[in-house]
Amino acid sequence: MPLINYQLSFRIALLPGDAHGSQLASCAERILHLIEHIRPDVAFQISRHDFGGVALAAGHLSALPTSTLEACRQSDAAIVCACGDPKYDIEPEKGLLALRQELGLFANIRPVKFPSESLIPLSSYKPESVEGLDITFFRELTGGAYYGETQEAGEDGEAYDTTSYSRSTIERLARLAGTYAVHFNPPKRVHSVDKANVMATSRLWRSVVTEVFSNEYPQVQLDHVLVDNAAMILSSDPQKMNGIILTENMFGDILSDQASGILKSPDILSSAAVSTIYGKGKAPGVFEPFNLKPRDGEVNPLGIVQSVGLMLEISLGLKAEATALSKAVRRTLDPIDQVGCDTRTTDLGGTASPKVFMDTLLHNFDYYLEALNSADTASFPVSISTPLSPQSRTSARPMGVIEKILTHAGIGLTKPYVETGDMICVKVDWTLTSELLWGGMEKTYNQMGRPRPFRNDRLWLAVDHTVDPRTNHQPRQKGLIAKAERFRREAKIIDFLPANTSIMHTDFTRERAQPGRVVVGSDSHTCSAGSMGSFAVGFGAADVVMPMVTGETWFRVPEVCRINFVGKLPFGVGGKDVILHILGLFKRNTIAFQRAVEYGGPGLKELSMDARFAIANMTTEFGGMGTCFEADEETSAWIARRKLPEHREGGLFFRADPDAQYVDVKTIDLSEVRLTMALHPNPDDVVPVHEKAGMKLDGCFIGACTTTEEDLIVGALVLEAGLYAGMRPSRHGKRRVTPGSLIIIKNLDKHGLLDIYRQAGFEVGAPGCSYCVGINDVDVAGEGEVWLSSQNRNFRNRMGKGSFGNITCAAAVAASSFDMVVTDPKFLLDQLDSAKLERLVSGGRSSGPQPVLRISEPRPEMSSNSVPVLLSSSESHVGATTPRIIRSKVQRFGENVDTDSDAVIPAEFMPGVDNADLGSHCFQYFRPEFRDKVTNGSTIILKLRKLWSSLAVFFRYIASLGKEYFDI
């Protein structure tokens, strides 16, 4: 294929070398071929050449044949796969040294970091000393004792080696390290290692390095470390050396070898010899696995994979592709609970062959390369816009956080702010769905011709609603799982969570959601992500397809209700108790109805991120259409601890203006919050738990998305206190705990908390919606059964047809589970060790110095053209018509029908075969006679305050019957 057809074309000299080198060369070729297949503007011309013992065996006079050297000179980079053959002594190694010298390569770059944190347990170091390890060695290659004047021992028994360095030699390496450091934000710290207290060359080294960084890289943090101290730190607490270690030849050789031992296997690291980085200059770099020694049989390909990644980044300037490869490696190695493939070769404690490892890696790499393409497409301008002038910014009206988020996300705005009622198009950062809701979305997606999603790396699909390991083999579950997996393969979805990995909202909010961003999901509890400072909104399933495909959606800027927190929560009281307190005070569908709810105030700092999650999660029960917490230092600290670095950045921390206008402002004193429960079937029928003490129960459930890790910890400690006090679970009733994700299960198991649940008679379930929706065919409450649950909804038939669900916090459910009667947990909470509780829940709170937040202001895309006037529902350009009078009896459905999708269409009948099938189950249990009237020919008049997708399906069902209906 002609190189001139491509914008970026590279020549790669591939030197397989000895023994297993040919296998590794094939791995490198597969990676490069995949890149040029997926990425439209990149091409590689790859040529193989004899090198090392193979060259000598082929009759060449040197391990580095002239033709091989010339090919390397004409290339943009060279890859050496293996070097060494005992038949030829050290001749192959001499060829490698000659290659570096002939190409003028003076710097050795060796990154030392775990490609996946799942490999940390393999290290002999304590996990806390190597978590986040990220060291890059910059070692001088041409000077020092290895190249100085040498005297072998003579008859007098005296020998010596001379260390010599010049200013220019030190300067060029220091500049290379400085250039590398400033490519990161913030710049990487540089540790210059020497022996300045003894050696003259080290004193020169220290002086020159200080001068170069002071004059040319003042933004880079530089310190000087004596080599013996550096070795000690690497032996005890190596993460203290994170950043760049800049040092001379012999020190770098020894220290980098020492550091490689941290990772147990040198086969997973890479190394490079360069004279330039980031494509500057013409000298090609030479890239190789850290361990080049020949071995028989199959070899872990991870070292050559890492070498290709290093080449892409620092020699070819393909940083995006290098990052994608690094992500693919991590995804391949990561455990299932981290949405990884858990695929490791035998030397890393796994069972995969090198071929299986490479096949899995390339599958993941394909998805990440597709993500680059979708990100490139997303970066193209989608509307004619002009930048916002400084004068326009200052003229913007005072706004709250939600209004600022919508302003920043707005496309083609005619003014630098938004106002209530404006119809605007906004950029959507994430779309969310589940296997159940995808079943409904797919109908719309099929009608659109199944176009490629806008961003395959900004789509979250979790298989959670209908699944359970005990029933996933059944036809309904298998069908929904298969549909979701088909879409995953077709769209190359990065964030696909297989069955029973996480509830849809749990890990998304904890590991992906960012402040200042717009999140749209096909489930009403999408508002959970608002706890991270996103503006998170639940749409109907069909309505989520458009932002999934286009990256945009339309919003009518909602009225915003602001709730300010003051005070501090009593001990043992959490976020679930706060939202029930709010529901009890203000009732549902009142101040929050059809409005967005914004949470803030001085008491916000007293609420952990888990507490905020529970509050945001149940804002939909409060009546809110969307939610946002004002992101703060707690938010920033949580995000900074995320496993994946790409999801620690990208947030925008907006602050509400002091004079921002809200439709309503309320204050909640956290010190007044008590333990309460909401009685069936209304989330706002809230009473103190002690008022219902003694109420008999048939089941206790702790789980669902609203039940956070913090709640599960408190529930376990309450059970522990009860067991310690001599309480034992009665034989009557069912008890089940279902944590929200495998990550949470792992953490609970680590501290022995799941064992406490088991001792207290609870069955431990796999992550999923479980009893909260009652549709996985096993976790279904029986008709007439009374349950106490920590879930978010207590509507009719929610937990199972004819069941009675009451909701409260995990602590109250735990205390009530012993005797299967409602029990106030306060007497058990009073026995808890507060220090132990704080230690266990500390993951949800920041500790140490608070991060300094960078407060953002909106930067909207302003339209350069006029925008057509959009008519509201009260305006029309159609001529007046004669009014028609309709007389009818009224059926009033009450409050719950607005948000209780189970009343409209019970979840067990979703997603249905088609609209007719789905519509035929509308009001199956709640008001079946209404459906019968429609079917028998009655004219329907609708008076709605809120239209949910399940109701929309019913209206389409009416139309499919040829019936007439009117929306007033």
Handedness of CA 624, 626, 631, 634 (dihedral sign): positive
Helix axes 834-841, 709-724, angle to 10 degrees: 150
DSSP strand pairing (940-942 vs 734-738): unpaired
Write the pLDDT tens digit of every residue in 404-463: 999 999 999 999 999 999 999 999 999 999 999 998 899 999 999 999 999 999 999 999
Query: What mean pLDDT comes out for the span 532-555?
Result: 95
Q: Which of 462, 548, 470 is nearest to 505 (CA)?
A: 462
Whether 174 contacts 230, CB under 8 Å: no
SS3 288: strand
User: Residue 611 and residue 794: Cα distance in Å, rounded?
Assistant: 20
Rounded percentage of the chain residues whose pLDDT exceeds 70: 86
Which of 499-526 are b and which e, b meaning 16 or more Cβ less than 10 Å from the residue's Cβ? Answer: bbbbbbbbbbbbbbbbbbbbbbbbbbbb
Q: Which of 591, 589, 592, 634 is nearest to 609 (CA)?
A: 634
User: Residue 131 and residue 129: Cα distance in Å, rounded?
Assistant: 6
Whether 610 contacts 711, CB under 8 Å: yes
Terminal alpha carbon distance of the chain = 64
679 backbone dihedrals φ, ψ, rounded to 5°? -85, 145
Write the DSSP string, 150-176: EE---TT---EE-----HHHHHHHHHH
Q: Which of 150-154, 389-393, 642-646 shows the lowest per-residue confidence on average (mean pLDDT)?
A: 389-393
Q: Is residue 920 classed exposed, middle or buried when 0-12, 13-18 and 19+ CB atoms within 10 A define those classes?
A: middle
- At CA 511, angle to CA 510 and CA 517, rounded to 5? 90
User: Residue 256 and residue 245: Cα distance in Å, rounded?
Assistant: 9
Q: Please give the positions annotated as active site.
A: 146, 195, 228, 253, 257
Tell me the helices (H) and strands (E) count for the chain, helix number first: 32, 37
Domains and CATH numbers, the chain: 1-108+277-375 (3.40.718.10), 124-148+163-263 (3.40.718.10), 394-644 (3.30.499.10), 675-832 (3.30.499.10), 896-967 (no CATH)
Element containing residue 306 per DSSP (H, E): helix 302-314
Whether 244 contacts 107, CB under 8 Å: no
864 backbone dihedrals φ, ψ, rounded to 5°? -95, -5
Tokens representing residue 263 in the block: 């990772």
Would you state the pLDDT for residue 959?
Answer: 54
Write the pLDDT tens digit of every residue in 503-532: 999 999 999 999 999 999 999 999 999 999
Under DSSP, the state recorded for 332 is: H
50 backbone dihedrals φ, ψ, rounded to 5°? -65, 145
Rounded percentage of the chain residues whose pLDDT exceeds 90: 82
Q: Is the pLDDT of residue 321 over 70?
A: yes
Query: What mean pLDDT comes out for the span 643-662?
Result: 96
Q: What is the rounded radius of gyration, in angstroms, for the C-alpha atoms of the chain? A: 32
950 backbone dihedrals φ, ψ, rounded to 5°? -65, -35
Q: Which of 191, 188, 263, 265 is nearest to 222 (CA)?
A: 191
Whether 734 contacts 700, CB under 8 Å: yes
How far, rounded to the nearest angstrom, does the alpha carbon of residue 232 sit from its chain's CA centroid? 36
Element containing residue 738 per DSSP (H, E): strand 734-738
Q: What is the mean pLDDT of the chain?
A: 90
Tokens representing residue 687 in the block: 């009473």
Write the pLDDT tens digit of every residue in 713-755: 999 999 999 999 999 999 999 999 999 999 999 999 999 999 9
Query: Residue for token digits 């509201």?
Result: 872
Q: Which of 106-115, 580-589, 700-709, 956-965 shows the lowest per-residue confidence on average (mean pLDDT)?
A: 956-965
Would you state the pLDDT for residue 862?
Answer: 86
User: Residue 499 and residue 325: Cα distance in Å, rounded?
Assistant: 26
Question: How distant, in Å, are the alpha carbons of 534, 703, 755 from that of 764?
Answer: 32, 10, 9
Tokens representing residue 852 in the block: 């300094």
SS3 551: coil
Residue 870: pLDDT band (50, 70, 90) is very low
User: Residue 456 and residue 430: Cα distance in Å, rounded?
Assistant: 10
Query: What mean pLDDT comes out for the span 324-332?
Result: 99
Which of 238-249 are b and which e, b meaning 16 or more Cβ less than 10 Å from the residue's Cβ? Answer: bbebbbbbbbbb
Tokens representing residue 861 in the block: 């895309």
User: Residue 82 and residue 295: Cα distance in Å, rounded?
Assistant: 9
Q: Is the pLDDT of residue 566 over 70?
A: yes
Partnered with residue 521 across adjacent β-strands are 432, 538
Q: Is the pLDDT of residue 876 over 50?
A: no
Write the pLDDT tens digit of every residue in 905-964: 666 666 666 666 666 667 666 667 766 766 666 666 655 544 444 555 555 555 555 554
C-alpha neighbours within 13 Å on the C-beta side of residue 182: 12
What are the residue ranges of helices labelled H in 261-289? none
816 backbone dihedrals φ, ψ, rounded to 5°? -80, -15
Tokens representing residue 688 in the block: 């103190």
What are the residue ranges of helices labelled H in 728-791? 742-750, 753-759
How far, rounded to the nearest angstrom, does the alpha carbon of residue 883 sit from its chain's CA centroid? 55
SS3 203: helix
Which amino acid appears at position 824 of this protein?
D
Write the pLDDT tens digit of every residue in 59-71: 999 999 999 999 9
User: Residue 288 and residue 269: Cα distance in Å, rounded?
Assistant: 9
Write the pLDDT tens digit of every residue in 880-918: 445 556 566 666 665 555 455 666 666 666 666 666 666
Would you state the pLDDT for residue 874?
Answer: 37
Tokens representing residue 514 in the block: 């960012």
Partnered with residue 498 across adjacent β-strands are none
Would you state the pLDDT for residue 464?
Answer: 97
18 backbone dihedrals φ, ψ, rounded to 5°? -100, 170
